[in-house]
Chains A and B, each alone.
Chain A
Amino acid sequence: MTSFLDRIRAAAPIASRYGGSKFRKPTDALVADLEAALSPGQVRADGAQRALLSHDASLFDGGVAGPVCFPTTGEEVQAVVTVALRHNRAIVPRGAGTGLAGGAIPFGAPVVISLTRMNRILEVDVENRVAWVEPGVVNLDLTKHLKRIGFHFAPDPSSQQVCTIGGNVATNSGGPHCLAYGVTDAHVLAVEIVLASGEKAMLGSIGPQDEGLDLRGAFIGSEGTLGVATKVAVRLTKNPPAVKTLLLSFASVRAAANTVSAVIAAGIVPAAMEVMDQRITIAVENFVKAGYPVDAAAVLLAEVEGLADGVKIEAEQISAIGTQNGATEVRLAQSEAERELLWKGRKTAFGAVAQIKPDYYLHDTVVPRSALADVLEEIYKIADRHQLIVMNVFHAGDGNLHPLLLFDRRIEGELDRVHAAGAEIVEASLAAGGVLSGEHGIGIEKQDYMDRLFTSDDLDHQNRLRNAFDPSCRTNPGKVLPMAHSCADIQALRSVPAGVWG
Chain B
Amino acid sequence: MTTTPTTSTLKVTDPVLLEFAAEVGASGKVAVVGAQTRWDVGGQPAKGVRQLGAPAGVVEYKPEEMTVKVRAGTSVSDLDAELAAAGQRCALPNRGGTVGGAVAVGEDHLGVLGRGPVRDSVLQVRYVSADGVTVTGGGPVVKNVSGFNLPKLMVGSLGVLGCLSEFVLRTNPVPGVSRWLQFADADPFAVFDLAHRPGAVLWNGTSTWVLLEGYLPDVEAQNTLLIKQWAGVEVEAPPPLPQHRWAMPPAALSTVGPLPTGEFVASVGVGRLWGQRPAPPTAQDPVVVELSRRLKTNFDPTGRLNPGRTP
Contacts and interface: CB of A to CB of B under 8 A. Distances in A.
Interface in B256-304: 267, 269-272, 285, 287-288, 291-292, 294-295, 297-299
Interface in B93-147: 106-108, 116-120, 129, 133-137, 139-147
Contact of A458 (B137, B153, B248): B137
Interface residues of A, number: 94
B157 to A, nearest CB: 6
A321 to B, nearest CB: 13
A430 interface: yes
Interface of A: 125, 127-129, 171-172, 174, 178, 182-183, 185-186, 195, 199-203, 205-215, 217-218, 220-222, 238, 241, 261, 264-265, 267-269, 306-310, 313, 366-370, 378, 395, 398-400, 424, 427-428, 430-431, 433-442, 446, 450-455, 457-459, 461-462, 464-469, 471, 480-481
Contacts of B252: 207
Contacts of B11: 455
A368 B153 contact: no
A468 B146 contact: no
B193 to A, nearest CB: 9
Interface in B172-221: 172-174, 189, 196-197, 214-215, 217-218, 221
A395 B143 CA distance: 10
Contacts of B1: 378, 428, 431
Nearest to B251: A127
B62 A185 contact: no
Nearest to B6: A452
B66 to A, nearest CB: 6
A454 B136 contact: yes
Interface string B227-255: 00000000000000000010111111000
Contact of A438 (B65, B144, B174, B267): B144
A465 B150 contact: yes
Given A128-B251, A424-B2, A465-B150, A210 B156 contact: yes
Nearest to A101: B145
A199 B287 CA distance: 7
A218 B149 contact: yes
A161 B118 CA distance: 31
A172 to B, nearest CB: 5
Interface in B1-27: 1-5, 7, 10-11
B249 A206 contact: yes
Nearest to A203: B288
Contact of A368 (B65, B120, B173, B270): B65
B215 A310 contact: yes
A222 B142 contact: no
Contacts of B134: 457
A208 B173 contact: no
Contacts of A457: 129, 133-135
Contact of A307 (B145, B152, B196, B291): B196
Contacts of B307: none
Contacts of A264: 64-66
B145 to A, nearest CB: 5
B145 A221 contact: yes
B112 to A, nearest CB: 8
B155 interface: yes
A261 B63 CA distance: 10
Closest 4 CB pairs of A and B: A217-B152, A309-B217, A127-B251, A267-B173
Given A210-B117, A214-B119, A437 B146 contact: yes
Contacts of A178: 143
A265 B67 CA distance: 12
Contacts of B139: 366, 434-435, 453
B155 A452 contact: no
